[in-house]
Amino acid sequence: MQLFNELKTLGHKHIKADKKANERVPSGIWLACPKCHQSFYHKDLGLYQVCPNCEYGFRITARERLAWLVDKFDEEDAELKTSDPLKFPNYAQKLDKARQNTGLNDSVLTGTAQIAEQTFALGIMDPDFIMGSMGTVTGEKITRLFKRATRKNLPVVIFTASGGARMQEGIFSLMQMAKISQAVQEHSQAGLLYITVLTDPTTGGVTASFAMQGDLILAEPRALVGFAGKRVIEQTTHQKVPNELQDAETVLDHGFIDAIIPRKEMKEKLAWLLKLHNEGNGVNG
Amino acid sequence: MASFLEKKKTAAQIVANARGEEKVSAQELLAGVFDDFLELHGDRLSADDAAIIGGVAHFEGKPVTVILTNKGKSAQERLRTHFGCPEPAGYRKSLRLIKQAEKFKRPVVTFINTAGAYPGQSAEENGQGEAIARNLLEISSVKVPVIAVIYGEGGSGGALALACGDSVWMFENSMYSVLSPEGFAAILWKDSSRADEAAEVMQLTPEKLLQQKVIDGIIPESRSHKRLFRAVKKVLQQELEKYQKLSASALVEKRQQRFQRF
Ligand SMILES: [Zn+2]
């Protein structure tokens, strides 16, 4: 019942089909799209796990995304483990569970990837790993990804998904924002390309650092993109926040996203962009 | 639209043609001149202005950054773009994309058809003047070629902000001036109905501007879009080749000379 766990952890609404349908399809469950609220049989979401009605991309693990995104992938830094710097109660158990659920050592999967013969450094955050929160290992893996890319003259692509800072690692989590930003800047100053793809949800310290530092900022349809959580805003301002305030489409209208790319077109568009930036124009050196 | 070879048009006729319904649209130019295109939105500050379209494309197989002012086709789109008059966010987007092109060493091609930068309260509050000024400042030292084509109206600072590069071409039926003929007549003669007369006096036609060396050439406009796109491509190819050959410092120096002589 992997799918049920996913539903629970991600808080998707779900309703059971009527009993007869259940008998015919034993694992038959229906999902409601959290954005447009239409219901679908889970298989209707297809390979890309996308709402057939509004193209919202359901939250998927990093390894699920990797499976359809790349032609080749060499994983790096898979052995790094957090030192649990605050010795935070019950954190070790939480980590164990997250590792089991995602097959990752922390909330980001990193390595060297290839799409359509374009080689690049790839990072994919996992919303299932403690809400994609940014711990010290997340920060270290992303920093190393950029440093390696700078050394090898490679572009970087990162799929962001994060609830923000890792509370269990406190101030050490916060410091990752500055640490990663230094590595991004070094990579940029070497004239190299950095593409971010904002997926649902991209918030907090990730938005306020490497998610918004791309040369190109892409997003998946209707992905939640913001800094502060909706509840925090409402409790602070005592005002209701419009539902679509942090939809990628709204964020694009406000000037912060280059393009919204449906999941099924992502591989092809990334290949096109990587190639375009790799061709050079032989100009004005 | 009258062809290049027919008898000489008056300035007022050229103004009418520049603004006419038959004028090729930004979207048609994109589809007709470039191999492909991905639009990139937003100024990374406050908004995405529909009056300026920008993105990356291939031109004859090579990467370029393309920026176009957009008047819009439908009534709704025209309202959204203020009939092709950019907001400050539009100029900030275009500058962002030009700096991006510089980082990745690809040339920039701009297509201009605007009565001018949008005159409105929001535009003032968001720094319309500052946005245009920053384009002029930054583009003056950009290390990749910036080739501009005025394809309809070239209105004042709002047009110059995208035409301050290395080479400026104009469609046969286009105009480029410090002010609209209506505005000129109103200010000088307190009578905006004398716009046709103003158009003559202002020397805003491609021929006059070429004589003054404000522009570098004229692109013949034909009724057939196919022929028009072929003419545009020919000019772009020739100009890109010419300016891509230069070293970055020679390019910037040549650009500065281009404007220092005025
Ligand atoms: Zn939906």
What is the pLDDT averaged over residues A252-260? 97
A53, A64: one domain: no
* Angstrom distances, CA of residue A263 to CA of A54, A225, A250, A269: 12, 16, 18, 10
How remote is the CA of residue A58 from the centroid of ligand 1, in Å? 9
Using alpha carbons only, give the angle B120, B125, B128 rounded to the nearest 5 degrees.
70
Kindly state the tokens that stand for B172: 């046969």
SS3 A201: strand
Is position A55 annotated in a ligand binding site?
Answer: no
| pLDDT in the model for residue B253 | 94
| pLDDT in the model for residue A18 | 38
Q: What is the CATH number of domain B11-260?
A: 3.90.226.10
| pLDDT in the model for residue B25 | 95
Closest CA to A73 of A47, A101, A110: A110
Q: Which of A153, A193, A258 to probe by mutation at the B interface, max B CB count within 10 Å?
A: A258
Instruction: Please report residues of B whose CB lies closer than 8 A to that of A277.
Output: 63, 104
A242, A151: one domain: yes
Mean pLDDT (chain B, rounded): 93
- Give, rounded to a whole angstrom, the gap between the first and last alpha carbons of chain B: 33
The pLDDT-based confidence of A42 (bands split at 50, 70, 90) is confident
The pLDDT-based confidence of A1 (bands split at 50, 70, 90) is very low
| pLDDT in the model for residue A14 | 35
What is the pLDDT averaged over residues B120-135? 92
Question: Which letter does DSSP use for residue A83 in this model?
Answer: -
Using alpha carbons only, give the angle B115, B116, B122 rounded to the nearest 5 degrees.
125
In 10 A of CB B96, how many CB atoms? Answer: 18
Instruction: Please report residues of B whose CB lies closer than 8 A to that of A283.
Output: 105-107, 144-145, 244
Q: Is the ipTM of this complex over 0.90?
A: no
pLDDT by residue (tens digit) across B89-114?
999 999 999 999 999 999 999 999 99
Verify whether the Cβ–Cβ distance B38 to A269 is below 8 Å.
Answer: yes
A101, A168: one domain: yes
Residue in chain B lying closest to A213 (CA): B44
| pLDDT in the model for residue B194 | 92
CA–CA dist A106, A96 (Å, integer): 10
Judge whether A203 lies within some domain. Answer: yes
**Residue A7, class by beta-carbon neighbours within 10 Å (0-12 exposed, 13-18 middle, 19+ buried)?**
middle
A154, A48: one domain: no
CA–CA dist B170, B207 (Å, integer): 9
| pLDDT in the model for residue A281 | 63
A240, A250: one domain: yes
C-beta of residue A32 within 8 angstroms of C-beta of residue A15: yes
Closest CA to A198 of A177, A230, A220: A220
> Would you list which residues of chain B are within 8 Å, Cβ to Cβ, of chain A?
36, 38-48, 56, 58, 62-64, 89, 92-93, 100, 103-107, 143-145, 243-244, 246-248, 251
Judge whether A17 lies within some domain. Answer: no
A99, A46: one domain: no
Kindly state the tokens that stand for A184: 């991004």
CA–CA dist A5, A2 (Å, integer): 5
Kindly state the tokens that stand for A272: 């096109």
What is the extent of the structural domain holding A197?
59-280
Amino acid in position A269: K
Kindly state the tokens that stand for A229: 């959580």
Closest CA to B244 of B141, B150, B108: B108
Judge whether A120 lies within some domain. Answer: yes
Judge whether A72 lies within some domain. Answer: yes
Verify whether the Cβ–Cβ distance B105 to A280 is below 8 Å.
Answer: yes
Transcribe A102-133 into DSSP letters. Answer: HSSSSSEEEEEEEETTEEEEEEEE-TTTGGG-
B8, pLDDT greater than 90: no
Strand order in the sheet with A39-41: A14-16, A29-32, A39-41
Instruction: Please report residues of A whose CB lies closer than 8 A to that of B106.
Output: 281, 283
pLDDT by residue (tens digit) across A63-96?
999 999 999 999 999 999 999 999 999 999 999 9
pLDDT by residue (tens digit) across A101-122?
999 999 999 999 999 999 999 9
Domain count, chain A: 2
HSE, CB side, 13 Å, CA atoms: give it for residue A95: 22
| pLDDT in the model for residue A231 | 87
A239, pLDDT greater than 50: yes
C-beta of residue A162 within 8 angstroms of C-beta of residue A128: no
pLDDT by residue (tens digit) across B233-258?
999 999 999 999 999 999 999 999 99
| pLDDT in the model for residue B247 | 95
Q: Calculate Rg over the CA atoms of chain A.
A: 19
A199, A63: one domain: yes
Judge whether A10 lies within some domain. Answer: no
Domain end point (choices A58, A80, A101): A58
The pLDDT-based confidence of A4 (bands split at 50, 70, 90) is very low
A181, A127: one domain: yes
Closest CA to B167 of B192, B139, B204: B139
A52, A129: one domain: no
Q: Calculate Rg over the CA atoms of chain B.
A: 17
Amino acid in position A144: R
pLDDT by residue (tens digit) across A119-166?
999 999 999 999 999 999 999 999 999 999 999 999 999 999 999 999
Judge whether A245 lies within some domain. Answer: yes
Highest mean pLDDT among A171-175, A268-272, B185-189, B194-198: A268-272
A54, A155: one domain: no
Closest CA to B171 of B225, B132, B108: B225
pLDDT by residue (tens digit) across B44-87?
999 999 999 999 999 999 999 999 999 998 999 999 999 999 99
Closest CA to B111 of B236, B26, B178: B26
pLDDT by residue (tens digit) across B148-167?
999 999 999 999 999 999 99
Instruction: Please report residues of A whose CB lies closer than 8 A to that of B47.
Output: 253-255
The pLDDT-based confidence of A29 (bands split at 50, 70, 90) is confident
Q: Tell me whether A276 touches chain B (CB under 8 Å).
A: yes
Is position A36 annotated in a ligand binding site?
Answer: yes
A114, A217: one domain: yes
| pLDDT in the model for residue B222 | 87
Q: Tell me whether A281 touches chain B (CB under 8 Å).
A: yes
A207, A257: one domain: yes
CA–CA dist A194, B126 (Å, integer): 29
Mean pLDDT (chain A, rounded): 89
CA–CA dist A259, B197 (Å, integer): 46
Task: Domain ranges for chain B, please list them.
Answer: 11-260
